Copies of this chain bind each other. A is one copy, B any other.
C-alpha cells in the first residue's frame, strides 16, 4: 500500500498534548499496560524479567524519560534533595555542597540548595519552602535548629542527615549525622601547641557559630587542663570571618600584655590574614608567636610561613552524608547512625 494521508501520524487528539513521549506511549509500543511499564522501569520486584527487558528496550528506543512533576504528584516524593548550608561565602560549605551534589546527582537526584545565613528563622522558612517540593531527602548543616524547624523535619517524615557536627552526649535518640568532633579538634590543636612548649595560647574566633564555639570549648578544656587558662586569652568577634578581620585581630592580640606566644584561629582565613599582618609588621612567626588555623583552606600551604592547621574532611563529609542519605531514601538502615570522619593536625611552619 502506497503512502496515503491516513497512514500519516495522527494529530494529537488532546487539546493539551505536549509532544512528550509518555508512559502510555511506551506501554502501547510494548503491548503491556502502563502500570506494568511503571513497575518495570522503577525496578519494582514482582514483574516478569522478560517483560522488564522488553519494556526497557522499547523505552530506550522511544527515548522515554519520566516526567518528574507527574511522578512527584502521584507518588508524593520528588527526586529533589534539599540541602541547607549557612553561607556560600565560606569555602568550607561550598566544598560540602559540591561533594554532596556530585554524589546525589550520580544517583539521579537534583539538589535544592538553601542558604540560611546562620539565621534560624530563615532556615525555618527555607525548609518550609523546600518541603513543598516533597524532597526525597534532607541534608542539613549542624545539629542546632529552632523548635519549629525540628518539628518540620520530624513531621515531614523526610529522611535527614546532619552535616559537620556529631552529638556530644549518648547515642540516645541521636539523629543521623556525619562529621567530626569539633570540640576534640579544638582541644587537639591546643594540645599540639602546648606540646611545642607554648604557654600563653590565645583563641581567636569570628562568626561564632555553634561549631566555632565547640572549638572554643575544646581549647578551653585543654588550656585549663594544662593550667594555663586565662579569660583574657579569648578573642571572640561575631563578625563574619575574613582575612582582613584576621589581620585586625592579630594586631589587637599582639598588643596584649603579658604577650601571647601562640594564637589559635578558629578558621584559616583569619589565620592567613594574621600571617600577612605579621609580615607587614615584621613580627616573626613562629619565633615570636606561633599561629595555627582550622580547616586547611586553599592558600594555607602557600603562606609565609606555611600555616599549621587542622585538616577537616569536608569533601568526604559531603559525600559520605549523601551516601548515608541515599541508604535512608532506599528504605535501608545505615551501618551506624553517626559517622565520625575525624581530622588531622597538619604541622607546617607557622608553629
**A194 adjacent to chain B (CB < 8 Å):** no
A204 vs chain B, min Cβ distance (A): 16
**A113 adjacent to chain B (CB < 8 Å):** yes
**A3 adjacent to chain B (CB < 8 Å):** no
Q: Which residues of B contact A304 (CB under 8 A)?
A: 276, 279-280
Chain A interface residue count, CB cutoff 8 Å, equals 44
**A31 adjacent to chain B (CB < 8 Å):** no
Render A125-153 as a binary contact track against B, CB cut-off 8 A, 1 for contact: 00001101110000000000000000000
Instruction: Please state the number of chain copies in the assembly.
Output: 2
- Whether A76 contacts B112 in the complex (CB less than 8 A), given A298-B242, A302-B244, comes out as no
Are A243 and B298 touching (Cβ within 8 A)? yes
Task: Give the contacting residue for A73; candidates B70, B113, B134; CB below 8 A.
Answer: B70
**A345 adjacent to chain B (CB < 8 Å):** no
Q: Which residues of B contact A70 (CB under 8 A)?
A: 69, 73
Q: Which residues of B contact A67 (CB under 8 A)?
A: 73, 132
A242 to B303, CA, bound (A): 13
**A88 adjacent to chain B (CB < 8 Å):** yes
Render A54-91 as a binary contact track against B, CB cut-off 8 A, 1 for contact: 00000000000101111011001010000000001101
Q: Would you list which residues of chain A between 226 and 274 have a CB under 8 Å from chain B?
A: 242-244, 247, 269, 272-273
- Whether A113 contacts B115 in the complex (CB less than 8 A), given A68-B132, A69-B73, A78-B69, comes out as no
A86 vs chain B, min Cβ distance (A): 12
Task: Give the contacting residue for A98; candidates B89, B112, B130; CB below 8 A.
Answer: B89
Are B115 and A112 touching (Cβ within 8 A)? no
Task: Give the contacting residue for A69; candidates B69, B102, B302; CB below 8 A.
Answer: B69
Q: Which residues of B contact A98 (CB under 8 A)?
A: 88-89, 115
**A214 adjacent to chain B (CB < 8 Å):** no
Are A132 and B65 touching (Cβ within 8 A)? yes
Are B301 and A244 touching (Cβ within 8 A)? yes
**A18 adjacent to chain B (CB < 8 Å):** yes
Q: Which residues of B contact A78 (CB under 8 A)?
A: 69
Task: Give the contacting residue for A115; candidates B73, B101, B298; CB below 8 A.
Answer: B101
